[in-house]
Amino acid sequence: MKTEPGVVGIDDVLAMPNQTVDWWGVRNYQARNFMRDQMKVGDKVLFYHSSCAEPGIAGLAEVAKLAYPDRMQFDPKSPYFDPKSTPGNPRWVNVDVRVTKKTRLIGLAELRSHPELERMRLLQRGNRLSITPVDPAEWEFITGSLLK
DNA sequence: GCCAACGTTGGC
DNA sequence: GCCAACGTTGGC
């Protein structure tokens, strides 16, 4: 799951109660559907920093709460406000994410250097999705080999 | 700031 | 439903 550290970085989440944050602001249907349809409490998450000086994996996390309406869509003052969304029929949802471990930063170049991660969705050319599935083998390689 | 690669919008 | 124009993402 990508986040911009200038907005909410891993240190910000670690400073929050229960090291947990609501993943507000996703406004892409595919990414929303991953949260809504796929993610369960306890699912493991790679916490990724994007649009910053050092893009890469910054930590490990897990899903702490099933998808529910994103609070920003109802706030007219928020850039994430959606006038077409109503509390009775919300368009956007988010899960809660709890950071379980801050790791060393694994940069993009390093990720790309490993053939084991060649097919990782995050690394595919043209990928702009802020939430992408991670293959169990990819998770194992990253947590088992790269972070040892 | 550039720009590739998308995704969304809206006229038809 | 098509598709051109426009907007966004995100690494560099």
Q: What is the CATH number of the domain that holds A42?
A: 3.10.590.10
Q: Is there contact between A129 and strand C, defined as CB under 7 Å from any strand atom?
A: yes
* Residue A77: predicted pLDDT: 87
Q: How many domains does chain A have?
A: 1
Q: Is the pLDDT of residue A68 over 90?
A: yes
pLDDT digits (tens, 9 = 90+) for A124-146: 999 999 999 999 999 999 999 99
User: In angstroms, what CA-CA distances link A133 with A30, A119, A125?
Assistant: 11, 11, 15
Domain with A33 in it: 2-146
Integer distance in angstroms from CA A84 to C1' C8? Answer: 20
Please give the Cα distance from A32 to A91 (Å, whole number). Answer: 9
**Cβ contact A29 with chain B strand, < 7 A:** yes
Provide, in whole angstroms, the distance separating residue A16's CA from nucleotide C5's C1'.
Answer: 43
Q: What does pTM read for this prediction?
A: 0.95
Q: How much of chain A, in percent, has pLDDT values that exceed 90?
A: 89
User: b or e along A83-94 (b: 16 or more beta carbons within 10 Å of the residue's beta carbon)?
Assistant: eebeeeeeebbb
